[in-house]
C-alpha cells in the first residue's frame, strides 16, 4: 500500500515513486512514437488526415470514461472489502485474546500463538506462498502436508484445544461458546478473502476496456496531427496517461491481497497482530513494526 503524506505542488508535478507512472511508461512511450509518426506524416503530406474528425473521439472518450469509472469502482469495492475483512480479523484476534485472559499461561500461549499462525498462514494462502512454512513456527501440533487448507486446519486445532479445555473443566460452556464465536468470525474472514482472491473481475469485461482504451489512444494522434502539429503530443499523452493509468490502477485494486504497490499491507497487519499477541503473553523482545520501503508498505 502506498504510504505518503498529502502531496504538495512539487509532488504533483514530479513525484514518480508511489505513482502509477512506472507501470504505464512503456505504453506512453509507444503512444508518443505513434504521435510523432502522425505529426511527421501530416507535415510531409498536408491534408492526409483532413477527413479524420476529432468529434467522434470526444463522444467515444466520454463513453470510455464512464465505462472505466464503473470498472474502477468495482475494483475499489473489492479492495475496500478486503480491508474490512482484515479489520474484522484484527478485532476478532484482540477479542479472543481478551477472552482468554483467565486461562493458564501454557494454554493461552498455545491459543494466541495459533492466532499468529492463522494470520501468517492466511497471508501466504492469499498471496500464493507456502502456508505450511508460514504456520510452522507458530503451531506446536503441526499440520499435515496433505491437508488442502492448512490455515483452516490450524483454526480447527485452536477450536479443538478450546473444546478440550471445556471438557477438562478449565472453562465453562458459556466461555467456550464465546471463544467459538470469535473463531467463527475468523473463519468467515478467511472465506471472504478466499472469495475475493479466487473470483477476479470477469475477463471479458476487462478485455473490452483494454482494447477500447488502446485503440482510442493509438488512433487519437491521427485526428489531431493535421491541426495541432507538434502540439499533438500534449493532449494525446495526457489522455493516454489518464486512461492507461486508471486501467493499471484498477488492475492493482482488483487483486487487493497481491504484491503490487497499491495492494493491502497484509505483512504489516500480520506483524501488528503478532506484536499484540506476544505482548499479551508477557514477551518483551517484540519484533519491530514494519515500515514503508520507498513509500510502499507491504
- Would you say residue 286 lies in a domain? no
Q: Is the pTM of this model over 0.75?
A: yes
Encode pLDDT of 7-52 as tens digits: 665 555 556 666 778 888 899 999 999 999 999 988 888 877 767 7
- Would you say residue 27 lies in a domain? yes
- Would you say residue 1 lies in a domain? no
- Would you say residue 144 lies in a domain? yes
The domain of 217 spans 20-280
- Would you say residue 110 lies in a domain? yes
pLDDT at 119 over 70: yes
Three-class SS string for the chain? CECCCCCCHHHHHHCCCCCCHHHHHHHHHHHHHHHHHHHHHHHHCCCCCCCCCCHHHHHHHHHHHHHHHHHHHHHHHHHHHHHHHHHHHHHHHHHHHHHCCCCCHHHHHHHHHHHHHHHHHHHHHHCCCCHHHHHHHHCCCCCCCCCCCHHHHHHHHHHHHHHHHHHCCCCCHHHHHHHHHHHHHHHHHHHHHHHHHHCCCCHHHHHHHHHHHHHHHHHHHHHHHHHHHHHHHHHHHHHHHHHHHHHHHHHHHHCCCCCCCCCCCHHHHHHHHHHHHHHHCCCCCCCCCCCCECCECC
- Would you say residue 7 lies in a domain? no
Q: What pLDDT was estimated at residue 65?
A: 83
- Would you say residue 124 lies in a domain? yes
The number of domains in the chain is: 1
Encode pLDDT of 208-228 as tens digits: 888 888 888 898 898 888 888
Amino acid at each position: 500500500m502506498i504510504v505518503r503524506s498529502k502531496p504538495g505542488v512539487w509532488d504533483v508535478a514530479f513525484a514518480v515513486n508511489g505513482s502509477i507512472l512506472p507501470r504505464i511508461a512503456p505504453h506512453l512511450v509507444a503512444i508518443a512514437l505513434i504521435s510523432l509518426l502522425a505529426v511527421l506524416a501530416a507535415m510531409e503530406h498536408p491534408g492526409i488526415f483532413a477527413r479524420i474528425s476529432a468529434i467522434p473521439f470526444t463522444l467515444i472518450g466520454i463513453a470510455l470514461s464512464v465505462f472505466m469509472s464503473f470498472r474502477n469502482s468495482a475494483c475499489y469495492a473489492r479492495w475496500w472489502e478486503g480491508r474490512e475483512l482484515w479489520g474484522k480479523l484484527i478485532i476478532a484476534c484482540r477479542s479472543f485474546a481478551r477472552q482468554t485472559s483467565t486461562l493458564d499461561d501454557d494454554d493461552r500461549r498455545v491459543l494466541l500463538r495459533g492466532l499468529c499462525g492463522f494470520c501468517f498462514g492466511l497471508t501466504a494462502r492469499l498471496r500464493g506462498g507456502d502456508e505450511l512454512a508460514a504456520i510452522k513456527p507458530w503451531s506446536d501440533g503441526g499440520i499435515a502436508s496433505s491437508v488442502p487448507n492448512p490455515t483452516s486446519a490450524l483454526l480447527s486445532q485452536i477450536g479443538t484445544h478450546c473444546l478440550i479445555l471445556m471438557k477438562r473443566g478449565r472453562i465453562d460452556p458459556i466461555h467456550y461458546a464465546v471463544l467459538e464465536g470469535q473463531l467463527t468470525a475468523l473463519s468467515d474472514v478467511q472465506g471472504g478473502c478466499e472469495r475475493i482472491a479466487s473470483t477476479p473481475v470477469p475477463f471479458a469485461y476487462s478485455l473490452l476496456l483494454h482494447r477500447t482504451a488502446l485503440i482510442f489512444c493509438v488512433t487519437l494522434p491521427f485526428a489531431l496531427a493535421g491541426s495541432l502539429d507538434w502540439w499533438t503530443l500534449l493532449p494525446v499523452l495526457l489522455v493516454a496517461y489518464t486512461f492507461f493509468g486508471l486501467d493499471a490502477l484498477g488492475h492493482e485494486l482488483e487483486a487487493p491481497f497481491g504484491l503490487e504497490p497499491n495492494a493491502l499491507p497484509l505483512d504489516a497487519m500480520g506483524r501488528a497482530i503478532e506484536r499484540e499477541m506476544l505482548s499479551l503473553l508477557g514477551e518483551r523482545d517484540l519484533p519491530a513494526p514494519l515500515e514503508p520501503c520507498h513509500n510502499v508498505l507491504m
